Chain A
Amino acid sequence: MNAIFKHGPSPQHRLVLVLFCSALLIFFDHKMNSFESVRGYLQSMVSPLQYLATTPKQMMNWAAENIVTRRQLVADNEQYKVNELVFHEQALQLDIVKKENERLRALLSSPLRTDTRKMVAEILTVDSDPYTHQVVINRGANDGVYEGQAVIDDEGIVGQILHVGTTSSRVLLITDVTHAIPVRISRNGVRLIANGVGVIDQLSHSHVPHSADVRVGDVLVTSGLGSKFPEGYPVAKVTFVMQDESHAFARIQSQPVAKIDRLRYVLLLWPEHSESTVINDSAAKIIENQLLEKGVSE
């Protein structure tokens, strides 16, 4: 230990260097978004650490699953059998309704909906940073995950993919301050935007006129606008409505339907490559042609 004679640059110089670097990083990452691709590589580099950090939790889960009494298992099994019966009956009903819906849609000549591709993913880590609401899942570019992909759990929308690594990727939750999602009220179709506010069980809706028909208890589903999220998945339930005329807009808050604070498995959705896109394409072509014609005539 020879701290009497200092080596290298003084602490001041080091501090200036580090602060300069971090200022550059903040500027280029936040303002210019020039780290989008690099983030993917960084995510892949640190993913072993994330896998390692989650082992204690996995061991606990394993123990909780394996150390149960026989009686508990039998009871669970019984419950699952009852559930299966109920779900099977519902599936039969759904099948009939689906066919009917397809027929009606065909009559109206609107695009048919096909089943979307889905994949189950497991949560690796939940961020401890209180300023961002993100989780890391164990699926990455190898599984075909892409940026902006919709992520749901068994109850509703959870968020979207933010950065993709090779074997893991990062999900931005709908409650993050920087996230907003287009929704509509399933009761009457009023369109709103659900903003995250940085609180795990709250979303807010800005710029809603006082005349909008919103009531406490309304279910908000994705509207499919913006084509990021597929249409019709539940997002939140309205918990608070204040139509005070002294403010410019009504104050509306809602609570996410998905159990965002206790996620374990999530579903990744791939968009449906069906006729709808084809029809959109052809519509776009028609509009383009018309515009061209107009341009020519002018």
Chain B
Amino acid sequence: MTLSSRLIILLTFLVALMASIMPLPLSVDAFRPDWVLVVLLYWCLALPARVNVISAGVMGFILDVLLGSTLGVHAGAMAIAIYIVAGNFQKIRNFSLWQQSMIVGVLSALYHLIVFWLQRFLTDAVFLPSYLYPVITTIILWPWAFLLLRKIRRNFRIK
């Protein structure tokens, strides 16, 4: 793990964070995919010894600060989703791209539901179906993000 490869991983995380707070029109905003979760999932599948539950917690915490939610909500949800992948990365790696998409969809739904449960517990939020719209876009995003990030990883020989 050289310095440059660390920097590149960090850079992908920064881009994901920026994409998740970028201002969008209200109608599109409900469909914003979970950029941070997708990037975390990719690196966790590719380099489970480097990017795992702790990094997920840290990224979730930064997301909490950026989104202004109660600190720790996204951190916990992100860590649980990544924990499932960190335990099964060898299986998931061998799945085809669309099977992986489905698993990513389930994880993203789990992530959103955990966040909702915590918010419900804290602020009496009411469930709206639109809270799960990002799952659809995340499923669509996964194959493209996977191919792009694999290209980046092979190009810069990140191991």
Give residues in A with beta carbon < 8 Å to B. Answer: 1-3, 6-7, 11, 14-15, 17-19, 21-26, 29-30, 35, 39, 42-43, 45-46, 49-50, 52-54, 56-57, 123, 125-132, 134, 136, 162-163, 170, 177-178, 198, 200, 261-262
- Residues of A within 8 Å of B70, CB to CB, are 25-26, 29-30
- CB atoms of B80 and A54 under 8 A apart: no
Listed by A's residue number, 18 A-B pairs whose Cβ atoms lie within 8 Å are A2-B49, A3-B48, A11-B53, A14-B53, A21-B75, A22-B61, A25-B72, A26-B118, A35-B71, A49-B14, A49-B18, A50-B66, A53-B21, A54-B22, A54-B23, A57-B22, A127-B68, A131-B125
- CB atoms of A49 and B21 under 8 A apart: yes
Interface membership of chain B positions 98-135, coded 1 if the CB is closer than 8 angstroms to chain A and 0 otherwise? 00000000000000000110110011111010110000
Q: Does B20 contact A (CB under 8 A)?
A: yes
The CA of A279 and the CA of B117, in the complex, are separated in Å by 49
- Residues of B within 8 Å of A25, CB to CB, are 61, 64, 70-72, 75
- CB atoms of A129 and B69 under 8 A apart: yes
Contact of B123 among A1, A19, A131, A170 (CB under 8 A): A131
- Residues of A within 8 Å of B152, CB to CB, are none
- Residues of A within 8 Å of B72, CB to CB, are 21-26, 29
Q: Does B56 contact A (CB under 8 A)?
A: yes
Please give the distance in Å from A56's CB to the nearest CB on chain B.
Answer: 7
Please give the distance in Å from B133's CB to the nearest CB on chain A.
Answer: 9
- CB atoms of B23 and A57 under 8 A apart: yes
The CA of A69 and the CA of B127, in the complex, are separated in Å by 47
Name which of B26, B56, B72, B116 has the most chain A CB atoms within 10 A of its CB.
B72
- CB atoms of B71 and A26 under 8 A apart: yes
- Residues of A within 8 Å of B73, CB to CB, are 22, 26
The CA of A46 and the CA of B69, in the complex, are separated in Å by 14
In B75-113, which residues have CB < 8 Å from any A CB? 75-76, 79-80, 83, 86-87
Name which of B14, B24, B53, B131 has the most chain A CB atoms within 10 A of its CB.
B53
